[in-house]
A and B are shown apart, each in its own frame.
Chain A
Amino acid sequence: MSTKLFELLLQASIYTVTISVVSILIGFAIAIIVSAMLLSRQRLFVLPGKIFISFFRGVPLLVQLLLIYNLLPVIGINVPSIVAAIVGLSLCTAAYQAENLRGGFASVPSGLVESAEMVGLTPMQIFRRIKAPIALRLTFPALVNEAILILKASSLVSVVGIVELTRMAQDLAGSTFLPLEIFASAGLIYLAINWIVALAGGLIERSLPGVPR
C-alpha cells in the first residue's frame, strides 16, 4: 500500500476525531443538564429527563442519524451533513453520559454531605467542593470509555454524507482492490487514536481531586 493511501486515511480520520471530540464535549454539557433534571426533586423535570434518556439510549444511533438528516427537513429544519452527524452523536452520547453522571452523584456518600451541612457549608459550596469533584472522579473512567465508544460509533456518520475513516477505507478498498491492507491500516489508526484517548484519560484521572486512593 502506498503512502498516499495511508495519508488519505489519516486525512479522513481528522473527521473522525473532530466529530467525536466535539460531540463528546457537547454531549457532556447536555448530560450535565439532563442529569440535573433526573436528580431534581421536581417531577416536572424528572420525566422529560427520563424520556430523553429512553429515546436516545433506546433508538440505534444509525436510525437517529437518518432521522435527523432526513426527517427534520419535513418540519423545515434542513441541517447540513456535518451538523446532522454532530447532533446525532452528541444527543446519543448525552443520554449515556447523563446516566453515568446521575449514578456518580447518587454515589456521593450521604455522610460526607451531612458532615458538610453540619459544619455550615452552603448548598452551593457543598456542590462545588464535595459533590461535583467526587461525582466527576467516580464517573471519569466511564467518560473515557464513552469517548472511545463514540470514536468507534462515528464510523456510522457516513450515512449522512461524511467521508470519515471507515468510509474512506471502503472507498479506497473499492477502487484499489487492496481491502486487507487498507482495512488493517484503518484498524491501526482507530487503535492508535483510542490508545491516546485512554492514555490521556488515565493521566487526567490521576490528577483529579476527589476520593484519595
Chain B
Amino acid sequence: MMMKAKSLLTGLVGAAFLLGAAFSAHAADTLAAVKAAGTLKVGTETAFAPFDYIDAGEHTGLNVDLFAEIAKELGVKIEWVALPWDGVFPALEAGKFDIVAGPATITKKRMERYRFTPPIAEATIAILKKAGDTTISKPADIAGKTIGVGKATAQLDQLKEFSDTLPTKVDVREYPAFTETYADLAAGRIAGVANSLPNIAFVASQRKGTFEVVLPPFGKKSYFGFIGLKDADHAPLMDAIDAAMLKIKADGRMAELQKKWFGASFDTPDAVKDPAF
C-alpha cells in the first residue's frame, strides 16, 4: 500500500514536470517569441506618478512614452498589464508579461534575482510634507512622526534604515500604493510620505499649495530601472531592450522625456553594477 502510494506520487510529480517542460519548451527564446507575436507585454502598477499613473482614466507617464520609443526600436506593439505592486514580481516570474515597467529601485537584493535595464532616473529618497508644515524642515525632523510609504518597495527599506539613525524612530505606515499615501497626507492622517525624489517632486508640482518637498534627499544615491528575468531564455529580449534604451539615451530622447515628466533631466550611468544598498 505504502509502496503503491509512493510510486503514484512519483508518477504524478514526473507527469507535472513533463507537462511543464513541454509547455515551456517553445518559449525558449523570448525575443523571437515577442517579435513573432508583435507585442511586448509590460507589467506595471498604475499608481506611481510620474512613471505610470491614471490621468482622468488614461494610462500615462514617463513609462508609457519611453516604452512607446522602445517599441518603435524593436518593431513591436506594447500591451500593458496593470497589477498592484506586490503582485507584479510574482506575475513576472509566472510569465504573465515580459518585463516590469514599475520602475524599481536598483538594489543588491533585487539584482540577485532579477535583471535590470539601464537606469532611467535617480531614485534617491526624500520626504513630501503638507505645504506650510513648519515642524518638518529637514529630513531628520520626521523622527517620531508618522510617515507613509509603499508596501514591498525599496523606499520602505531606505526609510527604515534612516529611521534607525534618528533619536526617536519614525512611525512607518505601509500602503498598497503610493497614491493612497498622498491621499492620506492631504487628509492629514500622516505627517509625510517617503518616496523617491522624482516621484514626490512631480506630485508637489501637480498639487502646489497642498504639498511641499523636504530637501535634501537622504540616504544613499540610487537609481530606477525596469526589471526583467535573469534566465537564459530572457537574455536575448533583455539585451535587445537594453540596446534600444541606450540608443534612446544616446540620441537625447531619454533626456527629453525626463524633462517632460520631471522638469529636469538626470545624468544616469549606462548600467548600475554595484548598487549602494
Chain A contacts of B49 at CB under 8 A? 175
Binds B, one of A17-25, A26-34, A72-80: A72-80
Q: Is the CB of B183 within 8 A of A71?
A: no
A175:B179 contact, CB within 8 angstroms: yes
B57/A174 in contact, CB under 8 A: no
| B-contacting residues, A88-108, CB 8 Å | none
The reply on A172 being an interface residue by CB < 8 A is yes
A174 contacts B94, CB within 8 Å?
A: no
Pick the interface stretch among B16-24, B113-121, B154-162, B192-200: B16-24
Least Cβ distance of B128 to chain A in Å?
14
Residue of A nearest to B90 (CB): A70
Q: Which one, A69, A77, A171, contacts B47 given CB within 8 A?
A: A171
B96 within 8 A of A: yes
Nearest B residue to A71 via CB reads B94
C-alpha gap A177/B208 in the complex (Å): 13
What chain A residues lie within 8 Å of B47 (beta carbons)?
170-171, 174
Is the beta-carbon distance between A159 and B56 smaller than 8 angstroms? no
Task: Compute how far the CA of A172 lies from the CA of B54 in the bound complex, rounded to whole angstroms.
Answer: 7
What residue of chain A has the Cβ atom nearest to residue B176's Cβ?
A: A170
Judge if B223 is at the interface, Cβ distance under 8 Å. no
> Is the CB–CB distance between B55 and A175 below 8 Å?
yes
Q: Are A161 and B56 in contact (CB under 8 A)?
A: no
Set A66, A71, A76, A78: member contacting B22, Cβ < 8 A: A76
Residues of A within 8 A of B83 (CB): 159-161
CB-CB nearest in chain A for B177: A174
Contact between B84 and A159 (Cβ–Cβ < 8 Å)? yes
**Chain A residues with Cβ under 8 A from B177's Cβ?**
170, 174
- Interface residue? B180 (CB, 8 A): yes
By a CB distance below 8 angstroms, the chain B residues around A158 are: 84
Cross-chain contact A159 with B87 (CB below 8 angstroms)? yes
A70 and B23 contact, Cβ closer than 8 Å, known pairs A158-B84, A159-B87, A175-B55: no
State whether A73 touches B182 (Cβ < 8 A).
no
**Interface: A41 (CB within 8 A):** no
- CA–CA, A176 to B95, complex, Å? 33
Q: Would you call B56 and A5 a contact (CB within 8 A)?
A: yes
CB under 8 Å from chain B, chain A span 36-77: 66, 69-71, 73-77
B95 touches A78 (CB 8 A): yes
In the complex, A168 Cα to B84 Cα: how many Å? 13
A78–B94 touching, CB < 8 Å? yes
Q: Say yes or no for B82: interface residue by CB 8 A criterion.
A: yes
Q: Closest chain B residue to A5 by CB distance?
A: B56
Q: Are B19 and A75 in contact (CB under 8 A)?
A: yes
By a CB distance below 8 angstroms, the chain B residues around A4 are 56-57
The answer to whether the Cβ of A144 comes within 8 Å of any Cβ in the partner chain is no
The answer to whether A70 touches B182, judged by C-beta atoms less than 8 angstroms apart, is: no
| B232 adjacent to chain A (CB < 8 Å) | no
A73 to B19 Cα, complex, angstroms: 11
Decide if A163 is an interface residue (CB 8 Å cutoff): yes
Residues of A within 8 A of B183 (CB): 173-174, 177, 179
For A158, the closest partner residue in chain B by CB is B84
Asked if A200 lies at the interface with its beta carbon under 8 angstroms from chain B, I say no
In the complex, are the beta carbons of A76 and B23 less than 8 A apart? yes
Q: Which residue of A lies closest to B81 (CB)?
A: A161
Q: Within 8 Å of chain A (Cβ to Cβ): is B246? A: no
Complex CA gap A177/B22 in Å reads: 49
Binary A-proximity of B164-196 (CB < 8 A = 1, otherwise 0): 000000000000010110110010000000000
Pick the residue among B16, B24, B46 that contacts A171 (CB under 8 A): B46
Q: Mark B44-67, 1 if CB is under 8 A from A, else 0.
A: 001101000111110000000000
For the complex of A and B, the 7 pairs showing the least CB-CB separation, nearest first, are A174-B179, A76-B23, A8-B57, A171-B54, A73-B94, A70-B94, A70-B90
30 pairs across A/B with beta carbons < 8 Å? A5-B56, A66-B87, A66-B90, A69-B91, A70-B91, A70-B94, A73-B94, A75-B19, A75-B20, A76-B19, A76-B20, A76-B22, A76-B23, A78-B94, A81-B81, A159-B83, A159-B84, A159-B87, A161-B81, A170-B177, A172-B56, A173-B179, A174-B47, A174-B53, A174-B180, A175-B53, A175-B54, A175-B56, A175-B179, A179-B183
Excluding A78-B94, A161-B81, A174-B179, 8 further A-B contacts by CB distance (< 8 Å) are A70-B96, A73-B95, A76-B20, A78-B95, A159-B87, A175-B49, A175-B53, A175-B179
